[in-house]
Amino acid sequence: MIRFNNVSFSYDNCEELAVSNIHAHIDRGEFVGIIGPSGAGKSTLVNLINGVIPHHLKGDFYGEVLVCGKDTVESSCGEISHHVGSVFQDPESQMVSTVVEDEIAFGLENFNLPADEIENRMTDALKMAGIEHLRHESTAALSGGQKQRVTIAAAIALRPKILVLDEPTSELDPQGSRQVFKTLKRLNQEYGMTILIVEQKVMLLSEFCSRLMVMERGRIIMDGPVRQVLEHHDKLLELGINCPRVVTLTKLLKNASLYFGEFPVDVNEAESVIRRIMEGAYDQYSESDLSLQ
């Protein structure tokens, strides 16, 4: 679906490479989380996929990026936009319309879709983003979180094969962020949409994504299934990425030689791990434990 072949890029007026020697392959239907400290090249990676680089942001481009089998340099930004939907960080400046409904219809009208099709897709997208009640609202009156959901709905409405999101939950509260991830998961599972998301909230990434990429100084330093990446939590901590608490807890259990299995990624899994350990522990120390009680 997406293939990076030895890609390096540096922006104009900037000597340092924003990303260097990127090799990656993302298959259809994957849900990929990208994490890393600021300035690691996460946004650059996203912009390489949706064609903003090299069509809008100029610089020195090496290697090739293939999206749906086509070189992004050869196809225009408009062509790429038929396959790739994008959501950026600042929702306010992404909005082109003054009414939510028009905002979502904007891309659909650009794609020259008939009126009834636009209506259907608009209703669907609003429902999926959980903002049906905002349909006729003025965009100026929305909160930051609501605006972010509108931009997500606008991208979903285009029904792209690939959806790339650059910190789409930065202005959402924990509940709102979770809601967004649930929506993305549904799109991923029901429509087989390939999703790439740049995000700082590692807990949500580890719970919802199937694959995690960690970036540092323009390179992908770790790439693999979530559980595998989380095992290197010392390295993650070094990069300033706080591991989910369940991972920290599991690490402690492993250090104490109480647990040897895979890393749990959410609270439910961690609970069952701990239950199993405790049951095992009771077997070993049942007498002393009972005497303590």
Partner 1 sequence: MKQMLEYVHGNSIFHRLNPLIKLIWAFVTCVACFISSSHLFLLGVLLMTIVIAGISGVLGRAMGVFKALLVLGLFLMLFQLLFTPHGRVYFYILPGVPVTDLGLSFSLLLMLKMMAALSPLSLMLMLTPMNELLTAMTHNLRVPYRYAFVVVTALRFIPTFSQEMDQIMQAQRSRGHETDTRNPFKKVRVILPMCIPLLISSVRRVETMAISLETRGFCTGPRSCRKKLGFTLFDLLAIIIVVAVLLLSIAIG
Find all residues with CB under 8 Å of 204, minimum gap 6, and list them.
169, 177, 178, 181
Cβ count near 9 (within 10 Å): 24
Q: Can you tell me which of 38, 74, 114, 190 binds partner 1, judged by CB under 8 A?
A: 114
Q: How far apart are the first and last CA of the chain?
A: 59
In the stretch 8-47, what mask flags binding to partner 1 with x, by CB under 8 A? ---------------------------------------x
In this complex, which beta carbon is closest to partner 1, that of residue 105 or of residue 270?
A: 105
Q: Does 129 bind partner 1 (CB under 8 A)?
A: no
CB of 46 to partner 1, least distance (A): 10
Closest to 264 (Cα-Cα) out of 203, 212, 183: 203
Q: Can you tell me which of 14, 96, 237, 281 binds partner 1, judged by CB under 8 A?
A: 96
**Six-digit token pair at 251?**
């690490």
- Please count the residues of the chain: 293
To 5 degrees, how large is the angle CA 8–CA 69–CA 181?
80
What is the C-alpha separation between 64 and 76, in angstroms, rounded? 15
Q: Does 93 bind partner 1 (CB under 8 A)?
A: yes
Q: Does 153 bind partner 1 (CB under 8 A)?
A: no
Q: Does 94 bind partner 1 (CB under 8 A)?
A: yes
In this complex, which beta carbon is closest to partner 1, that of residue 82 or of residue 161?
A: 82
For partner 1, the binding residues (CB under 8 A) are 47, 50-52, 55-57, 76-82, 84-86, 88, 90, 92-99, 102, 105-115, 118-119, 136, 138, 140, 154, 158
